[in-house]
Amino acid sequence: MDPTDYSQVPTPDKCYVDFCLVPVGTGSVSVAQEVAEVQRLLKASGLAHTMHSAGTTVEGSWDEVMKVIGQAHTVVHRTGAVRVQTSMRAGTRTDKVQTAEQKVKRVEEILAKDGS
């Protein structure tokens, strides 16, 4: 591939990203207020998302999802955190669209056969 082409490479249309954001240097141990603020931002984004105890999974185009996680850094900085650190898992696939819900269901179906 001609290296000059790289700027034209598109980002994925669909992805899921699971992220866990940690404010650093706030002096406060609880991050519940910051997590709540991020949940409000996600709701306003209109993207499908699910919170669990170790993070939140968001689904959408790569650009939309990454934009909202970048905005999450900004809103948490605004609450007073000088540093914000986020751990993410991003997944893309070209064969089919599979929602977060379907992924869990698929595994549960396999496990359901164990007892029979």
Binding to a copy of itself (CB under 8 A) within 61-90 occurs at 62-63, 66-67, 69-71, 73-75, 77, 82-90
* CB atoms closer than 10 angstroms to residue 80: 12
Is residue 97 a contact residue for a copy of itself (CB under 8 A)?
Answer: no
Contact positions with a copy of itself (CB under 8 A) in 29-68: 29-33, 35-36, 39-41, 43-45, 50-55, 57, 62-63, 66-67
Distance CA 111, CA 27 (A): 44
Contact positions with a copy of itself (CB under 8 A) in 5-24: 6-7, 9-12, 15-16, 18, 20, 22-24
Distance CA 101, CA 86 (A): 23
Distance CA 97, CA 15 (A): 9
